[in-house]
Amino acid sequence: MSSECLFCKIIAGELPSETVYKDEQVTAFRDINPVAPTHVLIVPNKHIASTNELSEEDEQVVGHLFTTARKIAEQEGVAESGYRLIINTGPDAGQVIFHLHLHLLGGHRMRHPMG
């Protein structure tokens, strides 16, 4: 945990959030500035700044981010219609909070192009 990281504070319960899922490896909560009807952030409980900071020991938690996304998509009712998963890495990609997070977006037809 990083004492200055916004997401670490949410995971620790120091800041409010609308949590939709939590276990020993990940926490998922609604984005405070949603860009889709369903916009959930799924974050590892361990502080990892970005994809660039991943190590081989993080492979299990990264896989768990994706299986958790599937569960949340089912829970939120978007699994059948479809959803988008996004990980931004670095400022040019739009990463604002430097704690690895997976965006789950759904609830309407997604638009293209993405970049």
Evaluate whether residue 115 is within a structural domain.
Answer: no
Evaluate whether residue 73 is within a structural domain.
Answer: yes
| Catalytically annotated residue among 39, 101, 103, 112 | 101
Evaluate whether residue 112 is within a structural domain.
Answer: no
Evaluate whether residue 1 is within a structural domain.
Answer: no
Evaluate whether residue 39 is within a structural domain.
Answer: yes
Per-residue DSSP letters for 61-115?
HHHHHHHHHHHHHHHHT-TTT-EEEE---SGGGT--SSS--EEEEESSPPPS---
* pLDDT tens, position by position, 66-83: 999 999 999 999 999 999
Count of domains in the chain?
A: 1
Domain that holds residue 86: 6-106
* pLDDT tens, position by position, 3-53: 799 999 999 999 999 999 999 999 999 999 999 999 999 999 999 999 999
* Alpha-carbon gap, residue 85 to 66, rounded angstroms: 9
* pLDDT tens, position by position, 24-33: 999 999 999 9
Evaluate whether residue 31 is within a structural domain.
Answer: yes
CATH of the domain at 64: 3.30.428.10
Evaluate whether residue 113 is within a structural domain.
Answer: no
The question of whether 64 is a catalytic residue gets the answer: no
Evaluate whether residue 69 is within a structural domain.
Answer: yes
User: Residue 54's pLDDT is what?
Assistant: 97
